[in-house]
Amino acid sequence: MALSIIHRVTGIALYVGTLLLAWWLIAAATGPAAYANVQAFTTSFIGRLIVFGYTWALMHHLLSGLRHLVWDLGYGFKANEREALTWGAAIGGISLTVLLWIVAYMIGGGR
Amino acid sequence: MSLPGSPIKSMRTPLARVRSLGASHSGTSDFWRQRLTAVAMVLLMVPVIVVVMMLLGRNQAGAAQILGSAPIAIIMLLFIIASCWHMKIGMQVVIEDYIHGEKLKLASIMANNFFCIAVALASIYAILKLSSGV
């Protein structure tokens, strides 16, 4: 199944993306100038694209991982169940990403 | 331990070589910890998303005040530890699957450990600094 390799690829993307998270936290602990640099990047077009991609990778990896936990418990191995779990993770990941960004724009835009 | 096809014969049977801790030398501890940290992050996901939403559009002073408060700092610390541990194990599985040369494999696993520990410690340092207000 293609979703299996996507679980890996999103995992690797999240791995590299922790550099951005670490940079953001260190900047917050450093001072206004350092934090402004992070904000300049994350509000730029390429920065938003990366953070959007990161949100999707996280949501997809989360749901795809839950699917693996269901399998670890010994459920969901029938063909139709596997299909449902896989499609659920794929569609759910995209839906949650879009939903989170709508909420983020509503909250962030209000500040 | 003799390599396959090696003229040097080992006294140990294949079963003895993999018994107890197995070929990974660490048994199933990584398998268990991968799931432990996964469940931890499932539980932490909603609080972490709430924290990130609280920080949107705020300047450094506002962000530092929020991240430095005790409950939020603790949520962030738990999430940092779980995620860095989880990604260390996950990347090691990927390395073991795709890199077959022993030396390159060991070097990659070492680099993976260094990266994950460095990211974890840098992030933890930042949260503790924000919490102590130094």
Share of chain A above pLDDT 90, in %: 91
Kindly indicate the confidence band of residue B35, based on its pLDDT and cuts at 50, 70 and 90: very high
Domains of chain B: 27-132 (1.20.1300.10)
Report how far residue B49's alpha carbon sits from residue A104's, in angstroms, rounded to the nearest whole number. 10
Instruction: Provide the number of CB pairs (under 8 Å) joining chain A to chain B.
Output: 81
In a 10 Å sphere around its CB, with 0-12 CB exposed, 13-18 middle and 19+ buried, how is residue B71 labelled? exposed
**Mean pLDDT of the region A25-52:** 96
Report how far residue B79's alpha carbon sits from residue B14's, in angstroms, rounded to the nearest whole number. 41
> What single string gives the DSSP state of each residue in B101-120?
SHHHHHHHHHHHHHHHHHHH
pLDDT at B104 over 50: yes
Judge contact between A21 and B76, C-beta under 8 A. Answer: no
The pLDDT, as a whole number, for residue A15 is: 98
Distances from the Cα of B64 to the Cα of A110, B56, B73, B102, B130, angstroms: 20, 12, 10, 45, 6
The tokens for A99 are 């939903």
The pLDDT, as a whole number, for residue B103 is: 96
The pLDDT, as a whole number, for residue A32 is: 97
Distance in Å, alpha carbon of B50 to nearest chain A alpha carbon? 10
| pTM summary value | 0.88
Domain of residue A32: give its range.
2-109
- Is A72's CB within 8 Å of B35's CB? yes
Kindly indicate the confidence band of residue B17, based on its pLDDT and cuts at 50, 70 and 90: confident
Report how far residue B88's alpha carbon sits from residue B119's, in angstroms, rounded to the nearest whole number. 11
The pLDDT, as a whole number, for residue B3 is: 56
Judge contact between B51 and B75, C-beta under 8 A. Answer: yes
The pLDDT, as a whole number, for residue B1 is: 46
* Closest CA in chain A for residue B121: A22
pLDDT at B21 over 80: no
The pLDDT, as a whole number, for residue B18 is: 72
The pLDDT, as a whole number, for residue B23 is: 65
The 10s digit of each residue's pLDDT in B73-95 is 999 999 999 999 999 999 999 99
In a 10 Å sphere around its CB, with 0-12 CB exposed, 13-18 middle and 19+ buried, how is residue B92 labelled? buried
Best residue in A10, A25, A30, A96 for a mutation probing chain B (most B CBs within 10 Å): A25
What is the number of structural domains in chain A? 1
The tokens for B10 are 């080992």
Lowest mean pLDDT among A10-14, B2-6, B37-41: B2-6
Q: What is the CATH number of the domain that holds A49?
A: 1.20.1300.10
The 10s digit of each residue's pLDDT in A48-86 is 999 999 999 999 999 999 999 999 999 999 999 999 999
pLDDT at A103 over 50: yes
Report how far residue A54's alpha carbon sits from residue B106's, in angstroms, rounded to the nearest whole number. 29
Name the strand (E) or helix (H) holding A4. helix A2-30
